[in-house]
A = this chain, B = another copy of it.
Amino acid sequence: MESTAPQSPAGLRTTPSWLLSQAASHAARLLSEGFAAHGLRGYHYRLLAALAEDGPASQADLGRRCAIDRSDVVAAINDLAGRGLVVRAPDPADRRRNVISVTDAGAAEAHRMAETVDRAQQDLLAPLSTRERDQLTRLLTRLLEHHSRD
């Protein structure tokens, strides 16, 4: 009885929602292992990448761009600023706001982390051919488009 697979009930195991959640959890593990090597987490990268791509922004803006609650942005920016990857400065034009900008070190780190992310994708998709990867991406994109009509 030392059988192999300790998974869920058969009924669930073949269910698309279950497959999705399992696959997502493998992906998350790969990613967070990669991020850990940088001493950072997923949301740090999201913020850093958003800043590197679209330029400086207020914390609230950043939160909206990255779908991170503004209260959580505070702590994450503290971390990034503490490492010199990002600078927090009061906005002279609106004293309610802080302007967050990437430093050179931050841009470099963002670039390195992007490579880490790429490697994780390779690992994740290893068993699939290029064509199949495209298929998967296309299907998932269709799903998301449909389900994010607000």
Contacts and interface: CB of A to CB of B under 8 A. Distances in A.
Interface residues of A, number: 61
Contacts of A132: 139, 142
Interface stretch (A5-13, A76-84, A86-94, A97-105): A5-13
Given A7-B67, A9-B52, 19 more contacts: A6-B67, A8-B65, A9-B66, A12-B46, A16-B121, A16-B125, A16-B140, A17-B24, A17-B27, A17-B31, A19-B137, A19-B144, A20-B20, A20-B24, A22-B144, A23-B143, A128-B142, A128-B143, A132-B139
Given A17-B27, A24-B20, A28-B17, A11 B137 contact: no
Nearest to A146: B127
Interface of A: 4-12, 14-17, 19-28, 30-31, 45-46, 49-50, 52-54, 64-67, 114, 117, 120-121, 124-128, 132-133, 135-137, 139-148, 150
Contacts of A9: 46, 49-50, 52-54, 65-66
Contacts of A45: 12
